[in-house]
Chains A and B, each alone.
Chain A
């Protein structure tokens, strides 16, 4: 445990010193700040922020995570020559990566909100949702990034796969859903679409957000089904479990690869 802490705190300092995370924070801060200063309507600001999160957070976590492991390759080989368990090292690296990204995210989004805390006074719940989705997405895509870079020796290939994964989950998957909806328009698709959305963490967080903003009424019957499902206790529980599953699965697979890998 002590060792885990040591490794992750070292990595954390290393990451914070790099300019990447600084730019990330500044970028989020500029976006949030300009949104707030453009319109003073908190609901609109928050939903736009959430939209941006759904795009930026996975992308940054993936790319940054992938590069991070490649850059640390020599360091990892060196540490492996020491009496350190591989899973401790792996977890240390992981925590050392996602903690600063989460921190950057919280600062980037949180500071502008704190600055204008007055106009957000009625939206504590939504802000909580905004921050939670950001954190969860970082955790998930940090793990995915680790899995990708451990599975691929070639750094360009790894980076390419990260971007493809991001493109797939945030764009192509929805395209496929749309094709399914159009093809099977004559059938009741509510339950199936809820089921399919569970398998894309970006879509899942998006739906949780959209439902929370009461846009569900627009969707008619589908909306009601979704609202009842994702808004109800069972739905929230299942969504949370699913997100947890998505956080653990890539990390676990990555860990297995990492243990067996011959550096």
Chain B
């Protein structure tokens, strides 16, 4: 009797033989000769692949010091037991995919991370799961790398017991995309980072900031969603920031900000959506920023523009249903507002060109008062306050004379 093998099976068998003979792919797991990742890393040569099978592996600072692809099959869990760092990548060209990292230890001396990358390039951390880690993904002095599609969760209650979800320090050309981060201190944290793209991430319910960066020039942020973070998003001391198509939502609290900008220069903020933040956009010491085509909806303050900000342009934004549209702390203003839509505007448009015939003053007297004296906010929505605002609108004396939109749009601008 002759047995016929279909060609596919023949190919499959041949490929198995290949692996056995020529190496390249190594399997590690409870039912394999290699019991865990550490033992696999000892015997492989550079650019091999290690497949980790389903199981729980107790790990203490696994050092990856040669180029390798590590892929989890099923739920391959590396557990730091709440004490240790889990994985430390010291080599270029490492790819980590589909692994689960849990319980990297809280430490007040070391930055224990689930995955730490130091002084490497061309690495990828893709589609992994992180649960209850101190820091989840920590990149130091790393370049040309990708962090993408990871799901990162933690549930610490206190800021001091919690690290950052994705932490970048002294890195450049890093791609951070499609990650979902919750419950960490800062969702995404960047310090001294250059030319990186942060796209399509969702960062919600983090203890402090959804996104936090400092000294990180020439980075771009797009399509991200930041929701319900303890203090929203804070970015400082940076030049050439591009922020577009992001959503900043429900950052509500005494010191919560949709976006807090401090000393940001030469940047563009386009097409973002600010919804229900107690402070939509807060700007302190910011120069030459274009704020265009954004929607500010139902925020406490849509924009708080401190007087040390200069040469910022606010054009074609929609302001609707905010308690205060713009507030500032000085009578001087060196910024321009033009062509915005203001739901508070009640002027007219005789020639029907869509632009209101009388200018709009977005700073009300009451917002000026509250900026200097917060407890007077107790009088919010009092008739007295409405009278004050109306009187000031007719004869502006105390509100900044130049903070004025000379061409307010009559209709809401469509931004799609």
Q: Assess whether A117 is interfacial by the CB under 8 Å rule.
A: no
B271 to chain A, nearest CB (A): 23
- Of B252, B253, B387, the residue contacting A171 (CB under 8 A) is B387
On whether the beta carbons of A226 and B254 are closer than 8 Å, the reply is no
> What separation, in Å, do the CA atoms of A207 and B255 have in the docked complex?
21
On whether the beta carbons of B378 and A51 are closer than 8 Å, the reply is no
- Known contacts A54-B383, A171-B387, A210-B381; A219/B375 CB under 8 A: yes
B324 to chain A, nearest CB (A): 8
Interfacial residues of chain A within 183-213, with CB under 8 A of chain B in the complex: 185, 189-190, 193, 197, 203, 206-207, 209-210
On whether the beta carbons of A189 and B254 are closer than 8 Å, the reply is no
- Known contacts A215-B323, A219-B378; A175/B384 CB under 8 A: yes
Q: Assess whether A218 is interfacial by the CB under 8 Å rule.
A: yes
On whether the beta carbons of A181 and B375 are closer than 8 Å, the reply is yes
On whether the beta carbons of A178 and B384 are closer than 8 Å, the reply is yes
**Residues on B with beta carbons closer than 8 Å to the beta carbon of A210:** 380-381
**Residues on A with beta carbons closer than 8 Å to the beta carbon of B379:** 174, 177-178
Q: Assess whether A217 is interfacial by the CB under 8 Å rule.
A: yes
Q: Assess whether A9 is interfacial by the CB under 8 Å rule.
A: no
On whether the beta carbons of A182 and B374 are closer than 8 Å, the reply is no
Q: Give 1 or 0 for each of B241-266: 1 = CB within 8 Å of chain A CB.
A: 00000000000111110000000000
Most chain B beta-carbon contacts within 10 A, residue among A171, A178, A182, A197: A178
Q: Assess whether A170 is interfacial by the CB under 8 Å rule.
A: yes
Number of interface residues of A (CB under 8 A): 37
- Of B301, B372, B384, the residue contacting A218 (CB under 8 A) is B301
**Residues on B with beta carbons closer than 8 Å to the beta carbon of A209:** 381
Closest B residue to A43 using CB positions? B298
Q: Assess whether B391 is interfacial by the CB under 8 Å rule.
A: no
On whether the beta carbons of B323 and A223 are closer than 8 Å, the reply is no
Q: Assess whether A220 is interfacial by the CB under 8 Å rule.
A: yes
How many contacting A-B pairs (Cβ < 8 A)? 84
B111 to chain A, nearest CB (A): 33
Closest B residue to A194 using CB positions? B378
Q: Assess whether B413 is interfacial by the CB under 8 Å rule.
A: no
**Residues on A with beta carbons closer than 8 Å to the beta carbon of B323:** 215, 218
**Residues on B with beta carbons closer than 8 Å to the beta carbon of A170:** 382-384
On whether the beta carbons of B372 and A220 are closer than 8 Å, the reply is no
On whether the beta carbons of B252 and A181 are closer than 8 Å, the reply is no
Q: Assess whether A25 is interfacial by the CB under 8 Å rule.
A: no
Q: Assess whether A245 is interfacial by the CB under 8 Å rule.
A: no
On whether the beta carbons of A190 and B375 are closer than 8 Å, the reply is yes
Interfacial residues of chain B within 363-416, with CB under 8 A of chain A in the complex: 369, 372-385, 387
Interfacial residues of chain A within 206-247, with CB under 8 A of chain B in the complex: 206-207, 209-210, 214-215, 217-224, 226
Closest A residue to B279 using CB positions? A218
On whether the beta carbons of B376 and A178 are closer than 8 Å, the reply is yes
**Residues on A with beta carbons closer than 8 Å to the beta carbon of B383:** 54-55, 170-171, 174
Most chain A beta-carbon contacts within 10 A, residue among B384, B385, B387: B384
Number of interface residues of B (CB under 8 A): 26
A186 to chain B, nearest CB (A): 10
On whether the beta carbons of A44 and B321 are closer than 8 Å, the reply is yes
Q: Assess whether B143 is interfacial by the CB under 8 Å rule.
A: no
On whether the beta carbons of A174 and B374 are closer than 8 Å, the reply is no
Most chain B beta-carbon contacts within 10 A, residue among A189, A190, A220, A224: A220
On whether the beta carbons of B384 and A41 are closer than 8 Å, the reply is no
A229 to chain B, nearest CB (A): 12
Closest A residue to B386 using CB positions? A51
A122 to chain B, nearest CB (A): 16
Q: Assess whether B46 is interfacial by the CB under 8 Å rule.
A: no
**Residues on A with beta carbons closer than 8 Å to the beta carbon of B256:** 217
On whether the beta carbons of A51 and B381 are closer than 8 Å, the reply is yes
- Of A174, A206, A207, A223, the residue contacting B254 (CB under 8 A) is A223
Nearest 4 CB-CB pairs, A to B? Answer: A174-B384, A218-B300, A219-B377, A222-B375
For the complex with contacts A206-B381, A221-B374, 14 further pairs of A-B residues with Cβ separation under 8 Å are A51-B381, A170-B382, A173-B384, A174-B379, A177-B378, A177-B379, A193-B378, A210-B380, A214-B252, A215-B380, A217-B300, A218-B278, A220-B254, A221-B254
Show 14 A/B contacts (Cβ-Cβ < 8 Å), sorted by A. A171-B384, A178-B384, A181-B373, A185-B375, A193-B375, A203-B382, A209-B381, A210-B380, A214-B252, A218-B278, A218-B300, A218-B377, A221-B374, A224-B254
Mark A residues whose CB is within 8 Å of B. Answer: 41, 44, 47, 51, 54-55, 170-175, 177-178, 181-182, 185, 189-190, 193, 197, 203, 206-207, 209-210, 214-215, 217-224, 226
